[in-house]
């Protein structure tokens, strides 16, 4: 089971009260997200690319083109940083300085390893079911050619940093007590993510029902 590795890069120095270290919170953040940003260095140049991902117990899984420069670097053992952020709202304080956002974020540091053989198919199923629950059993499985063109990587959840920001603004005392401050509306505005109505492509025969598993998706 993942356990936080205490280091200078996982210790919050700015607003440390927002830090979390428990595994349950890490898993909750990762399970709620859909897109991760993966960072790696390439000859002194930082590269950050968004990818779909999934958590599989104590590791995070990502996949992409086997020809991708990013994935080749990760496969070679280059240190990686994976970030997942979920924006929950905007915080409107009485001062612009104190205005901010509510969010849940997790940063994972480590070295990725490539998954191959039957285990890769299992990993791709985990990713598919995280992003599109129920789809794996209702679509064509990857062909050998497609698997050859795909690289699937795993990063252990052993060194991570979690930060949670929530609730109303924290205004300065003078803004709460001054007449000018009292005249300013303040609070927070939640941001919700949701799925829209499914839109079939042009090749779906008219009258074809939307799959039950799709109609059950919710965010």
Domain ranges of the chain: 16-215
What's the N-to-C CA distance of the chain in angstroms?
27
180: pLDDT strictly greater than 60: yes
74: CB partners within 8 A, 6+ apart: 38, 40, 80, 112, 153
5: pLDDT strictly greater than 70: no
Q: Which residues pair with 53 in a beta bridge?
A: 62
167: pLDDT strictly greater than 50: yes
Q: 102: which 2 tokens? A: 């509510």
- Whether the model clears a pTM of 0.75, i.e. scores above it, the answer is yes
Tell the burial category of 139 from Cβ atoms under 10 Å away from its Cβ (0-12, 13-18, 19+).
exposed
1: pLDDT strictly greater than 50: no
Question: Cα-atom radius of gyration of the chain, to the nearest Å?
Answer: 21
Q: 168: which 2 tokens? A: 């109303």
Task: Find out whether 100 and 91 touch, Cβ atoms under 8 Å.
Answer: yes
Convert the pLDDT of each residue in 100-142 to its tens digit: 999 999 999 999 999 999 999 999 999 999 999 999 999 999 9
- Mean residue pLDDT of the chain comes to 94
Q: Spelled out in words, what is the top-level CATH class assigned to the domain 16-215?
A: mainly beta
Question: For the chain, what's the residue count?
Answer: 219
Closest CA relative to residue 53, chosen from 78, 89, 80: 80
Convert the pLDDT of each residue in 138-158 to its tens digit: 999 999 999 999 999 999 999
Convert the pLDDT of each residue in 51-96 to its tens digit: 999 999 999 999 999 999 999 999 999 999 999 999 999 999 999 9
């Amino acid at each position: 089971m993942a356990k936080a590795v205490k280091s200078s890069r996982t210790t919050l120095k700015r607003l440390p009260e927002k830090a979390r270290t428990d595994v349950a919170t890490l898993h909750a953040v990762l399970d709620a997200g859909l897109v991760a940003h993966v960072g790696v260095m390439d000859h002194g140049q930082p590269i950050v690319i968004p990818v779909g991902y999934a958590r599989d117990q104590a590791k995070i899984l990502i996949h992409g083109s086997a020809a991708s420069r990013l994935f080749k670097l990760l496969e070679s053992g280059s240190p990686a940083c994976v970030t997942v952020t979920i924006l929950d709202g905007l915080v409107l304080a009485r001062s612009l300085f104190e205005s901010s956002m509510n969010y849940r974020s997790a940063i994972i540091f480590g070295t990725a390893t490539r998954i191959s053989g039957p285990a890769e198919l299992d990993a791709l199923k985990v990713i598919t079911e995280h992003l599109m629950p129920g789809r794996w059993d209702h679509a064509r499985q990857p062909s050998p050619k497609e698997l050859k063109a795909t690289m699937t990587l795993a990063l252990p959840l052993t060194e991570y940093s979690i930060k949670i920001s929530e609730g109303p603004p924290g205004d300065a005392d003078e803004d709460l007590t001054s007449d000018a401050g009292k005249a300013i509306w303040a609070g927070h505005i939640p941001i919700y993510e949701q799925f829209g109505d499914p839109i079939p492509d042009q090749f779906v025969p008219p009258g074809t029902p939307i799959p039950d598993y799709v109609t059950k998706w919710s965010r």
